[in-house]
Structure 1
Amino acid sequence: MTTTTQCAVLGSGVIGASIAYHLAKAGARVVLIDAAEPAVAPSASWASAGGLRSQGRHGPEQAISIMAAARWRTLEQELDADLGVLLGGHLHVAETEAEEAAVLARVQADRDAGIAIEQVGAREIREIAPDLSAHLRLGAWTPDDGQANPARVAQAFARAAERHGAACLLRSPAQPLVELGRVTGLLLPSGETLRPEHVILAAGAWSIGWLREIGCTLPLRWRGLQMLLSDASPARVSPTVTAVGRNLSLKQSPSGGIIIGGRWFARPVGAAPAVEPIEDHVLRQWAGATAILPDLRNRVLQRSWAGAEAQTLDSMPFIGSLGETGVYLATGFSNHGFQVSPMIGALVADDLLGQKQDLLNPFRPERSGVPDDAWFRFEREPFRN
């Protein structure tokens, strides 16, 4: 049996589900397909700590991030769901005089881009987050940033897509049908063949294997990143906090526990995107967080986990048509796709439906090539920090 549709979106994480929602809302015929379900382990949408950060982004992302920040203020109402949105701001701190230059440069670059960012000194840091360490010297402060629950967001986008007429095929891995190098259809587990006009690949770390199936390689890798959660803390940390000289992000969950993230790699388990925390990294990650939030010395580790993330060499996603393959990419968000996900969905939907979006041009898959030696080093970067 063969069925036709306008758009097939592969991947039901925050990016894929957002794309499906915005396409369906615009009146397109959409099928959202996932080998699992929205935001389950070990996907990035399941593992992410959920920071909503507009500051410190790449130049081409800044305008998108500003628009996304506005969307987050009303997204719960739009999707009719509790997304756990808490707009407590984002604070990026310097601990030494040498690190202050990085904060000053970030403030200037973001301010020039129109981001509502402030330079704050030690006294103001104490006012924003009194329980942080007293040695912090300077900060970049974006009061409109915050956090949300990525799993809830992915699931809410998927439900909203269904309300607008999209079909959701979950626990249904789709195999590409390729003719002369072009994906012409998708074979579903039921034996049904789906013939979409557009195939949108937004499967995060799983995009890499799918691309290999169609004979395509890009400078794209997957890595595991690990997270920690403490027991409930009497400290009060309203903003998300990052630090210039550390692989660190920390935020307080609604239950009071401290969520500790940052660019700490996890250990791959097997060939598929599957990962587990590295104990040595857990210890060092906790120690770095304790230097910023001293109350963690009195806390215990409640849980650690890890998820798989697709990363590009320049840390910017691939968004757009992939040559003659018939595939439209939206993958490789490199650990910072969550905040922009509402606007990525909107822009990609417009792009696919004929309203070409110049804001997406810097992310096109055909952007400048990568030297072989640089890609070799990136792909083989050690998993240990």
Structure 2
Amino acid sequence: MSSPKQVIVIGAGIIGASIAWHLTKAGARVTVVSTSGAGGVATPNSFAWINASWGNPETYFHLRVRAMAEWTRLAKDLPGLPLAWCGGLCWDLPADRLEAYAAEHSSWGYGIERVGREQAARIEPNLAELPDSALYVAEEGVAEPVATARTLLTDADRRGARIIAGTVGALALSGSKVTGVVISGETITADGVVIAAGTGAPAIAGTAGIKLPIEAPPGLIVHSRPYKKLLNGLVLAERLHMRQTAEGRIIAGSDFGGGDPGENPEATARELFATMKAMLRGVDGLEFDFHTVGYRPTPIDGFPIVSRAEGVGGLYLAVTHSGITLAPAIGLFAAREILDGERDALLAPYALSRFAQ
């Protein structure tokens, strides 16, 4: 009987945590290496919207829908997962584009409902400004990002994973094969290495001669102090997107990825918070707490990179924006490919090799 495969996962954000959990559950001996602890760098600054919305090509839409289904599966395996299917109310597009999006995604099977002002008021009664028409998707949701990553890593640890703090300075190589990672001059060996380090991924991959075409646009999100329940779900309005977290904070950005922080992020945050308050009723006691500026690891064509690194054995790459939506599917598919060589058809368009063509 062969011994379990040893895999190092670099990164403890939502993608790294999901891959580590799925690998451990499948029987691998996993070591997670993280500089910043559970949640990583980008994950704590995420709006955390789980969806298959917006202008997606159909192939990407199907990956996102599958990921939404995998969230339901994952919640059954981890009953304490902070996941809520709260629904999303959207009117953040001109009327013609909103209708085109609704028609297209409805034809693909997405559960979009067209609602008027009265229905919108029933869905979100504390909105001070209501649209004449909007779209509502009841099956959209949120996963509180840091708590979710921590839950995955805690259970991976319970199943035998090792989680260590450290900064990977380089990948260890033997010829054209990755054999481990170098941390503070010490090499930790493994049968395979997964880079799921978000914006830190290009520098690590570069030590093996791999170029990752990644951008890292900043996104500012404001956070209120915890407050009484005002919002039932996601609100995607013309001027900002907002939701209320499990602990009662209302978080908002000029879009779900966060907006441009500008030259003075604090002033931008205060202006955004004022806009948010103006859109809500019952906010007399609602107070600004802090803002975050997250840097989203975004491949230059906007779509995930989830694949082996061609020409470099033992190395797997998993870098994407929309990490919250895609995390459970990427974790499942990556574990299968790493351990069994089985690549899911839904990942076919998202190999790194597409950038060489």
Shorter-chain TM band: 0.7 to 0.9
Q: Show the counterpart of 2:145.
A: 150
Q: Deviations over 1:113-158 (max 9, x none)?
A: 2222212222211111122234412222111222221111111111
State the 1:359 CA deviation.
0.4
Would you say the 8 A contact 2:166–2:183 is kept in 1? no
Q: Show the counterpart of 1:382.
A: none
Structure 1 pair 186–134 and aligned structure 2 pair: CA distance change class (3 A): closer
Q: Show the counterpart of 1:221.
A: 215
Q: Show the counterpart of 1:44.
A: 42
Q: Show the counterpart of 1:15.
A: 15
Corresponding letter in the other structure for 2:65: I
Partner of 1:165, secondary structure, is coil
Q: Show the counterpart of 2:77.
A: 78
Corresponding letter in the other structure for 1:344: I
Distance (whole Å) between structure 1 residues aligned to residue 94 and residue 221 of structure 2? 25
* Unmatched tracts of structure 1, length 5 or more: 269-276, 371-385
Q: Show the counterpart of 1:330.
A: 318
Once the two structures are overlaid, the 10-residue window that deviates more, 344-353 or 211-220, is 211-220
State the 1:267 CA deviation.
7.4
State the 1:215 CA deviation.
3.1
Q: Deviations over 1:203-228 (max 9, x none)?
A: 11111221233333232122332221
Q: Show the counterpart of 1:273.
A: none
Q: Please, which of 276, 288, 299 is the counterpart of residue 301 of structure 1?
A: 288
Would you say the 8 A contact 2:55–2:101 is kept in 1? no
Distance (whole Å) between structure 2 residues aligned to residue 31 and residue 136 of structure 1? 49
Distance (whole Å) between structure 2 residues aligned to residue 100 and residue 133 of structure 1? 20
Q: Show the counterpart of 2:352.
A: 365
Distance (whole Å) between structure 2 residues aligned to residue 356 and residue 324 of structure 1? 17
Corresponding letter in the other structure for 1:61: Y
Distance (whole Å) between structure 1 residues aligned to residue 249 and residue 181 of structure 2? 43
Structure 1 pair 135–360 and aligned structure 2 pair: CA distance change class (3 A): same
Distance (whole Å) between structure 1 residues aligned to residue 177 and residue 268 of structure 2? 43
Would you say the 8 A contact 1:208–1:221 is kept in 2? no
State the 1:291 CA deviation.
5.4
* In the alignment, structure 1 residue 313 sits paired with structure 2 residue 307: no
Q: Show the counterpart of 1:33.
A: 33
Would you say the 8 A contact 2:168–2:204 is kept in 1? no
Partner of 2:259, secondary structure, is coil
Corresponding letter in the other structure for 1:236: L
Distance (whole Å) between structure 1 residues aligned to residue 274 and residue 94 of structure 2? 19
Normalised to the residue count of structure 2, the TM-score between the two structures is 0.86
Structure 1 pair 219–188 and aligned structure 2 pair: CA distance change class (3 A): closer
Q: Show the counterpart of 1:286.
A: 273
Q: Show the counterpart of 1:69.
A: 68
Once the two structures are overlaid, the 10-residue window that deviates more, 119-128 or 27-36, is 27-36
Would you say the 8 A contact 2:169–2:184 is kept in 1? yes
Would you say the 8 A contact 2:224–2:287 is kept in 1? yes
Report the identity percentage: 25
State the 1:172 CA deviation.
5.2
Would you say the 8 A contact 2:14–2:324 is kept in 1? yes
Distance (whole Å) between structure 2 residues aligned to residue 354 and residue 57 of structure 1? 32
Partner of 2:297, secondary structure, is strand
Distance (whole Å) between structure 2 residues aligned to residue 367 and residue 291 of structure 1? 45
Structure 1 pair 28–5 and aligned structure 2 pair: CA distance change class (3 A): closer
Structure 1 pair 32–221 and aligned structure 2 pair: CA distance change class (3 A): same
Distance (whole Å) between structure 1 residues aligned to residue 353 and residue 82 of structure 2? 37
Q: Please, which of 180, 183, 186 is the counterpart of residue 178 of structure 2?
A: 183
Once the two structures are overlaid, the 10-residue window that deviates more, 249-258 or 279-288, is 279-288
State the 1:284 CA deviation.
4.0
State the 1:306 CA deviation.
2.4
State the 1:368 CA deviation.
4.7
Distance (whole Å) between structure 2 residues aligned to residue 255 and residue 36 of structure 1? 23
Corresponding letter in the other structure for 2:204: W
